[in-house]
Structure 1
Amino acid sequence: MKLFSKEQIYEGDKLTTERQNISSTDLMERAGTQIFNWMHLRMQGVQVPIHIFCGIGNNGGDGLVLARHLILDGYNVHIYIVNYSDKRSKDFLINYERIKNVTKKWPLLLNDAEDFPDINPDDIIVDAVFGIGLNRPVADWVKSLFQHIKISKAFTLSIDIPSGLRTDKVPSDEHGVVWAGYTLSFASPKLVFFLPDTAKFTEHWEVLDIGLDRDYLYTTTTEADLIGKSEVLSMYMPRETFSHKGQFGHSLIIGGSYGKIGAVVLASKAALSAGAGLVTSYIPKCGYTVLQAAFPEAMVITDDHEKIISEIRFDIQPTVIGFGVGIGTDDKTMAAFETFLKTNKTSLVIDADGINILSKKTELIELLPKDTVLTPHPKELERLLGPWKNDFDKLEKAKVFSKAHNVILVIKGANSITVYQDKLYVNTSGNPGLATGGSGDVLTGIITGLISQGYNPLIATVFGVYLHGKSADIAIEDYGYQSLIASHVIDYLGAAYLDLFKQPEQPIQENK
């Protein structure tokens, strides 16, 4: 799913009215009607007070359309106009006049905190104050209104975006943003719904189709794409009946140090479970027995050093190399990595201390092969990019880094984001159970195993991040968040693959 910018949404609105020969007021009517349909389907006429707070722009106009339909259907509606400016949009004024034709109870004008209505926790609030076009600071009294809404604890539904939240900026004052229980977003969700600094302002979101021009939606390229099952299903490469292991590549996992051999076990298992034909683990001597016993399917090469990787020499020809899990940053290990990079031409996936080594010796970044995949956790990412001011600054730094060094960067989080050049791929799978030691090692192995099979590094990364999260989503049904461990994610990888082809269950129809 594409995540359209506000500028693209405005362009889509404009083209829609031109190509469909409708007015902007007609398009607003569609939007408000869709919100009404969504609410009516769930409320079915339940008589609970509905407080609709309308701004004086087009978002407020959407709220007025909704209010009119709710009133006509017999709902208990209270309308408030948040009078933050003397200017009104044309379509707002048209729908303000239409409201007068369906109710004798005119909207209440709010000018300051003295005008705020009483709201009970069992009431419903619709937030239609500001839309995506907000470009000014929120007045103090309007901030007070937003806090009044929040303190009420009433269910709050925002139209398109929580009021006060910008599409491209982190709020400087969170009191100036509505905290929504649900947001109905037009055409596509907003990128801010998925960033740590701003996702908190809406607990849930849903996209409403308001009939924007299909050709525009299909052909417009966006900065960010939302990745779910339908997106990764098109990436999946099925296997032929007469396939053999030689067709699915040879993954080499280089890592481990004394006390951290488990990281290599996890990454190696994940690579094979993701579909690599062969997996070899390159480890210090101390890990030989552990790895052979824990993962008999892997082949093992050991370094001459007992406890660390001191040199990297092998006589196999791997398809892809996963480097860094549990490897440490000993001087000898760093020197071995540098020597290896100077001659290596094989695709790389680098994680953990591999990234820390690059942060310590930044000149090594220039030796990375094109499309190397880097999978840092937040602190490793900060060491690599430097500190950032907020999530948008972080994304900008990541894009600059990716373009400068021609690498693929995974920003791990609740919605992990794969960054390549100027493009963002926002993942939708995964859950808090992944906040456990070793889950990053598993992700490294999954991506390595996918590249091994012939997926290009970008597709392997986007697909791998999704499978990693989906496996955890399935696993928590048995283990819950707290008891999920990294090896469970590997155990459920097969279920994550199978889920790609699972049809959603149809509701049981009751015979009449």
Structure 2
Amino acid sequence: MKIFFTNETKKLDRFTIENEPIKSIDLMERAASSVTFEIISRWKRNTPVVVFAGPGNNGGDALAVSRMLIEEGYTLDIYLFNPLQKLSQDCLKNRDRLQTIEGLKFSKSVKPSDSTNTFPHNGSHFTEITNEFIPPTLTKGTLVIDGLFGSGLSKPLSGGFGSVVQYINSSDATVVSIDLPSGLFGENNTENIPRNIVQADLTITFQYPKLAFMFAENEQFTGEWKIVDIGIHPDIIEQTETKYYYIEPDEAARMIMKRSRFVSKHNVGHTLLIAGSKGMMGAAVLAAKAALHTGAGLVSVLSAACGEKILQTSVPEALFIADEQDSHISDIVLNRSYSAIAVGPGLGRHEETARAFYKLLGQIKRPIVLDADALNLLAGHTELIENLPKNTILTPHHLEFDRLFGKNDTSYERLNKAREMAIRYHIIIVLKGANTAIITPKGDVLFNSSGNAGMATAGSGDTLTGMITGLLAQGYHPIPAAILGVFLHGMAGDLAAEKDSQEYITARDIISQIGQAYKKLHNYRV
């Protein structure tokens, strides 16, 4: 699924309107229907609802949703903010449609003499705000629908609108935002004013996710978010270029390579994991198990001698290559050809290990996977990064990334830096997080849609390294290996959480569900 910048929204809508064809008010009606369906599927009809609508098309969406909810039997208190007495054409049409509802109480403006700040129990009430505003009481049981501003916002909210947002955020009400939380920019919020951004519990967004949804610091504003299809014309989606994508199950499923019935273990690759040291052999064990369960035919682990018994007992299917040193790796000799190599899980940063690693990088000519301590050993060595084989896969979390490429203040800044580094060094960066981003050497960014917070557990990254390397060994190109590995990893985590709970799962539970994740993806191909 493509992710478009919010400045493309009008272009997508306009093409749909002209080529479906459909009237703009009817496209708004379609969007409002999707939002209404989501609301009625979650909240009972006796839930008190307060709607805050702005003067633009986001406000028009909110007014259309209001009308539909009233028709479904909900009681609403609706506020349309129109201080300049200038509404967008479709917002105006939806205001007029609301006024035709029988029994709806309507007033032009709120004034201290004729307003009430309690929810009306004797029917829905519509108020158009042109001057003073006395806010309604928002209790814990109130559902607020935020339709103040959407993707057309170009500067931070301030003044009266900023105050309204702060009032909503100070309440205990549950908040649903339409398309975007009001005040949030769709991409870069570095210069935004956080206190003037609605803190939604649920954001119902149209057609595609917004880039801002992928950044950890914006979770406080978006809450849970859900995409609803409003029927944007497929031709304009296909024609409009983007560098940002959101990987869904069917897209990941299409990447799975079919195995020949006559395949042998040698045909599906020999993985070498250079991993583990005294006290950190678990990382090597997890990576080895993950590589095997992802489909690698053979897995060898080169590690400190102390790990031989641990590895051979925990993963009897794997081969073990013992270093001369008992506690750490001191030399890396490639005495045979391997289909794929990964370095890093539990490696440690001993001086001898570092020297052996740097020597290895001088010999490698094919893409490898670098994780954990391999990334830490690379930090500060630009000349080594410059000489990495093209399409080498780096799998840093945000701290490892900043050690490698410099401090970043925001996720947006870090993502841009990752794109710059991937292009400059012709590498693939797997920037791990809630929506892990796979950044390609062309600067494309593919965000993962699978996974959950329970995967923030020791060994989860080692498991991912093993999975990606196992796919590389089977002959996957590095880019689909990274994408599919990340997606399978997340889906296995989701299945593990579904089986037990997010709090319960460990890296071993993720590995135990790799097979089920494959089966689930295979079903998308039927």
TM-score by structure 2 length? 0.90
User: Matched residues in 2 for 1:406 and 1:229: separation?
Assistant: 27
Alpha-carbon RMSD: 2.3
Q: 453, 456, 462: which one pairs with 1:432?
A: 453
Q: How does 1:248-259 map to 2 (within 5 A)?
A: 248-259=268-279
**Partner of 1:248: helix, strand, or coil?**
coil
> Where does structure 2 lack aligned partners over 5 or more consecutive residues?
108-125
Code of the residue aligned with 1:134 in structure 2: it is L
2:301 is the counterpart of 1:281:
yes
Q: 337, 341, 347: which one pairs with 1:317?
A: 337
Aligned-pair CA distance for 1:182: 1.8
What does residue 8 of structure 1 align with?
8
8 Å Cα contact 1:318/1:346 also seen in 2: no
What does residue 508 of structure 1 align with?
none
**Partner of 1:115: helix, strand, or coil?**
coil
What does residue 25 of structure 1 align with?
25
2:34 is the counterpart of 1:34:
yes
2:327 is the counterpart of 1:328:
no
Q: 341, 345, 362: which one pairs with 2:361?
A: 341
Q: Identify which range, 175-184 or 390-399, moves more after superposition.
A: 175-184
Code of the residue aligned with 1:90 in structure 2: it is Q
User: Matched residues in 1 for 2:105 and 2:509: separation?
Assistant: 61
Code of the residue aligned with 1:95 in structure 2: it is N
Q: Deviations over 1:200-236 (max 9, x none)?
A: 2223222222222121123433322222322211111
8 Å Cα contact 1:192/1:199 also seen in 2: no
Code of the residue aligned with 2:153 in structure 1: it is L
2:185 is the counterpart of 1:186:
no
Aligned-pair CA distance for 1:374: 0.5
What does residue 117 of structure 2 align with?
none
Code of the residue aligned with 2:134 in structure 1: it is D
What does residue 450 of structure 1 align with?
471
Q: 351, 356, 366: which one pairs with 2:371?
A: 351
Code of the residue aligned with 1:22 in structure 2: it is I
Q: How does 1:114-263 map to 2 (within 5 A)?
A: 114-170=133-189, 172-263=192-283
Aligned-pair CA distance for 1:173: 2.9
**Partner of 2:246: helix, strand, or coil?**
strand
2:494 is the counterpart of 1:495:
no
User: Matched residues in 2 for 1:14 and 1:205: separation?
Assistant: 25
Aligned-pair CA distance for 1:176: 1.0
Q: Identify which range, 365-374 or 33-42, moves more after superposition.
A: 33-42
8 Å Cα contact 2:375/2:394 also seen in 1: yes
Code of the residue aligned with 1:149 in structure 2: it is I
> Where does structure 1 lack aligned partners over 5 or more consecutive residues?
504-512
Code of the residue aligned with 1:13 in structure 2: it is D
2:425 is the counterpart of 1:405:
yes
User: Residue 37 and residue 314 in structure 1: after superposition, are their counterparts in 2 closer, same or farther (change >3 A)?
Assistant: closer
Code of the residue aligned with 2:371 in structure 1: it is D
Q: Identify which range, 286-295 or 433-442, moves more after superposition.
A: 286-295
Q: Identify which range, 281-290 or 375-384, moves more after superposition.
A: 281-290
Code of the residue aligned with 1:206 in structure 2: it is K
8 Å Cα contact 2:9/2:151 also seen in 1: no
Q: Deviations over 1:56-105 (max 9, x none)?
A: 11111111222233344553222212245554323222332333333452
Aligned length: 503
User: Matched residues in 2 for 1:477 and 1:77: separation?
Assistant: 36
Q: 473, 478, 482: which one pairs with 2:503?
A: 482
Aligned-pair CA distance for 1:6: 1.1
Aligned-pair CA distance for 1:42: 5.3
2:283 is the counterpart of 1:298:
no
Code of the residue aligned with 2:150 in structure 1: it is G
Aligned-pair CA distance for 1:501: 3.4
**Partner of 1:231: helix, strand, or coil?**
helix
What does residue 290 of structure 2 align with?
270
**Partner of 1:225: helix, strand, or coil?**
strand
User: Residue 297 and residue 169 in structure 1: after superposition, are their counterparts in 2 closer, same or farther (change >3 A)?
Assistant: same
Aligned-pair CA distance for 1:51: 1.4
User: Matched residues in 2 for 1:55 and 1:188: separation?
Assistant: 22
Aligned-pair CA distance for 1:289: 2.6
What does residue 506 of structure 1 align with?
none
2:61 is the counterpart of 1:54:
no
What does residue 106 of structure 2 align with?
105
